[in-house]
Amino acid sequence: GENVEQHPSTLSVQEGDSAVIKCTYSDSASNYFPWYKQELGKGPQLIIDIRSNVGEKKDQRIAVTLNKTAKHFSLHITETQPEDSAVYFCAATATNAGKSTFGDGTTLTVKP
């Protein structure tokens, strides 16, 4: 089955700096790669996603890149703010199989 590895497990940055979280996947059938943000006491919330026919996608301060050949994708957050502090999860999905495999999460702390 699919295996998703996410790094780093914890990340601490100063407010205004950039943060990068990386994930690798194993199943070449995976074609949808969402990123979720989970704040304390809440369920995960989709923040950005990318499909396998696209190499990069950007939404304001957040961007995701995908390298299908290398089977890895990354989340980039620029100009970080304290409210970006949360746990971030990547996931790899083979949409025809109905399963999403999540990474173990990255705890991001943005220091004011």
Question: Which residue in the block uniquely carries the two structure tokens 């696209």?
Answer: 54
* In contact, 32 and 22? CB cutoff 8 Å: no
Report the C-alpha gap between 74 and 58 in whole angstroms: 12
Q: Is 36 in the site for another protein (CB under 8 A)?
A: yes
Residues in 39-68 at the binding interface with another protein, rule: CB under 8 A: 41-46, 49
- Identify which of residues 80 and 100 has a Cβ nearer to another protein in the complex: 100
Among 32, 66, 71, 108, binds another protein (CB under 8 A): 32
Min separation Cβ 41 and another protein, Å: 8
Half-sphere exposure (Cβ direction) of 37: Cα atoms closer than 13 Å: 13
Per rule CB under 8 A, is residue 96 in the interface with another protein? yes
One DSSP character per residue, 27-79 reads -TT--EEEEEEE-TTS--EEEEEEETT-SEEEETTEEEEEETTTTEEEEEE-S
> Which residue in 24, 80, 89, 110 binds another protein (CB under 8 A)?
89
Query: Smallest gap, in angstroms, from Cβ of residue 23 to another protein?
Result: 11
Where on the chain is the footprint of another protein (CB under 8 A)?
A: 6, 32, 34, 36, 41-46, 49, 89, 91, 93, 95-105
